[in-house]
Chain A
């Protein structure tokens, strides 16, 4: 709207110019005309006034003529007694009273003559029409009067001439007669002059009236002109007022527009403020000095747990809540945000504040941990300069907590998955055997634990010893479960059994045992049991799934013991820094009497695990010794039907038995005294590896190394079945087990 108005303005100006001429030209012309008329009338009036003045003078002359006439008459008709001493001097002896002879007419001839001359002069003025008149009086004024006057005066002159002579020649009587004769002419003359004077006065009056009219006309013209001028002026004023009003309206409009804009701005500001108040994120701009801009969201204050942020720097805030090292890193990082040579995408990747743990004092001397997430975006100017960085910060504590919970549940899920994966690749027959065996072991463990008096009443050293004995039994059983689980690749069970072993080891180091110490163990064992039930459940469901897919019952191809052993070697090679290949050409599981398959399997599992834990060196170590990095394990087996026994030879090409370590272990566990340990030969010390708790690796791991594997094997074969286990070894070359099991 506003712009349209602006665009229209030049056109308005044009029309204004046109109308300006229209509106001002005519009034100006009228003013000019009126002024000319006015000036004309003024001059006319001036001429009239001059005429009037002239006529007034003429009128005066007329009056003067009459008075001159009277004077002449008086001068000529002075009668006085003749003076005594100068009788003879008396030129005119007249008497009005003729009876008085002493009276003489003594005319003042001189005065009369002068008066006459004056009259003559006046007459010529009258004839001329005025003293300086350029034209005679108009006939309507002059009429016959002047002619009559001149005639009369001429007659009078003739009559007076004798009287004007000095000394007077005529007698008194003559003089009187002449005077009487002239009386009629004088009277006529006087009348005539008065007539003329009257006419002149009339003329004056007429002219005066005219003058008044002209004067008024001129005045009127001027007045009109002035009025028109004024009108025009007022029109102009009005026009300018109109213009002013127009401008005013425009101003008002623009003012309204401004008001609108300003109200829009106010609205915008309010909205911005509202956004800044409600947004659940700390948003602000940061300058090169890391100063926090004054426009920031309300949330920022609660995130930073501060009342006032004005003038504060981000580094200042961070210094309060970060560790010293992290603070330094963040300072470096913030510096780089303003360094245009650093790529922003790279900076986003290395953002040290994208999930930062911070500590706020909680007011009671402690602190509160929060997780904050900062994001930084450069604000780049047209000149590609970075003046500011837009920072957003969120409190992600809840998210982090949720994530952690999720991770925990993920872990649980993972376990279940492991469980599932474990049973998927295990032959259902093996799995069945595993669950049956394990359940049996668990029941035995539980039975042992229940048999104990767990009421907390201690029976002293005797009970402690008994508890330890039972605990060892439990350990052996758990270890056996672990061995089976590793063999079958049931990682979840390996994990749980490992945990139980850890717990037992802890208990072993406890100075005094009580029944209560077993509570945790019982729980762990029950978890094992739960897992077994879960496996059963999963197995059934899987089977039904597979059957549903195949449309017929699943007939499983049995995985041989050989394949299981190869599998174990591969698994252990993957899990350790050792690689071993198992040679089974001399071993056929078909040849094993069925009722000894399990013990032989168990024995071989323990031997393989033992090899990985102790005998076989790491690939790098083997390389440095000049050995093949891949270790070799060989198994030979045959059934001696004559002796009804099964013979097994197990050998690895590792470093052989570490007799020094075995000796030390025997000493540590009190199997040998120092003296005995020093006196026994290497060959004699080796059988001690079958003692419980003798281990030759410093730290226990998942594979073996807890000294129970071989202990268990020995116990079952020698003690339970009446078989034998013999060892042979050569340092850095091999170690060998020769097993005979009666069948």
Chain B
């Protein structure tokens, strides 16, 4: 839109941040990974359900987490709370396809910092993640 701004795909992190992508859909995990592959994250990890996500997070707490709300094993809301207990300043971007905003409100109430509605495009995920990053840096 504005040619003066650097393309979001070329956004470069100023700090070495760790990203964790939690989503039960492989397609969405891949999609997010693809959207931010040039952002120079220190590490990018993915998890297909809440339990795996928590396992990863306990070993290596990420700075930014994208979190699907509805997942098997352990739902996103419980994950948000558990992660915040481990690392209170973790920035969690909740991603949900639910038209019902109650879940979104609940997630933010429990401490998620951002919210993104599925389906999303490159611009939306870029914007949402950049907001998270700005809050960490």
Interface residues in chain A, defined as those with a beta carbon under 8 Å from any beta carbon in chain B: 325-326, 329, 332-333, 335-336, 342-343, 345-347, 349-352
Known contacts: A326-B102, A329-B101, A329-B102. The answer to whether A350 contacts B131 by CB under 8 A is: no
* B104 surroundings in chain A (CB, below 8 A): 349-350, 352
What separation, in Å, do the CA atoms of A326 and B114 have in the docked complex? 21
Whether the Cβ atoms of B113 and A350 lie closer than 8 Å is no
Interface string of B74-110 (1 = CB under 8 A from A): 0000000000000000000000000001101111110
Whether the Cβ atoms of A349 and B117 lie closer than 8 Å is yes
Apart from A336-B109, A346-B113, A350-B108: 8 A-B pairs, beta carbons within 8 A: A332-B105, A346-B108, A349-B115, A350-B101, A350-B105, A351-B101, A352-B104, A352-B105
* B116 surroundings in chain A (CB, below 8 A): 349
Whether the Cβ atoms of A333 and B114 lie closer than 8 Å is no
Closest to A351 in B: B101
Closest to A356 in B: B101
Cross-interface CB contact of A329 among B106, B115, B117, B135, cutoff 8 Å: B106
What separation, in Å, do the CA atoms of A325 and B101 have in the docked complex? 11
A331 to chain B, nearest CB (A): 10
B80 to chain A, nearest CB (A): 13
* A349 surroundings in chain B (CB, below 8 A): 104, 114-117
* B102 surroundings in chain A (CB, below 8 A): 325-326, 329, 352
- Report 7 cross-chain contacts, Cβ distance below 8 Å, ordered by A residue: A329-B105, A336-B105, A342-B108, A343-B135, A346-B108, A347-B108, A350-B105
Q: List the 4 closest A-B pairs by CB distance, nearest first.
A: A352-B101, A350-B104, A329-B102, A349-B115
* A325 surroundings in chain B (CB, below 8 A): 102
Interface residues in chain B, defined as those with a beta carbon under 8 Å from any beta carbon in chain A: 101-102, 104-109, 112-117, 131, 135
* A333 surroundings in chain B (CB, below 8 A): 105
Whether the Cβ atoms of A336 and B101 lie closer than 8 Å is no
What separation, in Å, do the CA atoms of A332 and B103 have in the docked complex? 11
What separation, in Å, do the CA atoms of A598 and B132 have in the docked complex? 60
What separation, in Å, do the CA atoms of A586 and B47 have in the docked complex? 45
What separation, in Å, do the CA atoms of A326 and B135 have in the docked complex? 30
Main secondary structure of the interface of A (DSSP, over half): helix
Interface centre among A336, A345, A351 (most CB of B within 10 A): A345
* A351 surroundings in chain B (CB, below 8 A): 101
* B131 surroundings in chain A (CB, below 8 A): 343, 345-346
A563 to chain B, nearest CB (A): 28
* B107 surroundings in chain A (CB, below 8 A): 350
What separation, in Å, do the CA atoms of A335 and B105 have in the docked complex? 11
* A335 surroundings in chain B (CB, below 8 A): 109
A400 to chain B, nearest CB (A): 14
Cross-interface CB contact of B114 among A332, A336, A343, A352, cutoff 8 Å: A343
* A350 surroundings in chain B (CB, below 8 A): 101, 104-105, 107-108, 115
* B114 surroundings in chain A (CB, below 8 A): 343, 346, 349
What separation, in Å, do the CA atoms of A576 and B99 have in the docked complex? 25
A635 to chain B, nearest CB (A): 32
A333 to chain B, nearest CB (A): 5
B20 to chain A, nearest CB (A): 19
What separation, in Å, do the CA atoms of A333 and B102 have in the docked complex? 9
What separation, in Å, do the CA atoms of A447 and B75 have in the docked complex? 58
* B109 surroundings in chain A (CB, below 8 A): 332, 335-336
Whether the Cβ atoms of B113 and A332 lie closer than 8 Å is no
What separation, in Å, do the CA atoms of A122 and B109 have in the docked complex? 132
Known contacts: A332-B106, A332-B109, A336-B108. The answer to whether A346 contacts B115 by CB under 8 A is: yes
Closest to B104 in A: A350
* B101 surroundings in chain A (CB, below 8 A): 329, 350-352
What separation, in Å, do the CA atoms of A332 and B116 have in the docked complex? 19
What separation, in Å, do the CA atoms of A346 and B106 have in the docked complex? 13
What separation, in Å, do the CA atoms of A333 and B104 have in the docked complex? 10
What separation, in Å, do the CA atoms of A102 and B113 have in the docked complex? 167
What separation, in Å, do the CA atoms of A333 and B117 have in the docked complex? 17
Closest to B102 in A: A329
B74 to chain A, nearest CB (A): 21
Closest to A335 in B: B109
What separation, in Å, do the CA atoms of A349 and B113 have in the docked complex? 11
A344 to chain B, nearest CB (A): 11
B17 to chain A, nearest CB (A): 18
Closest to A352 in B: B101
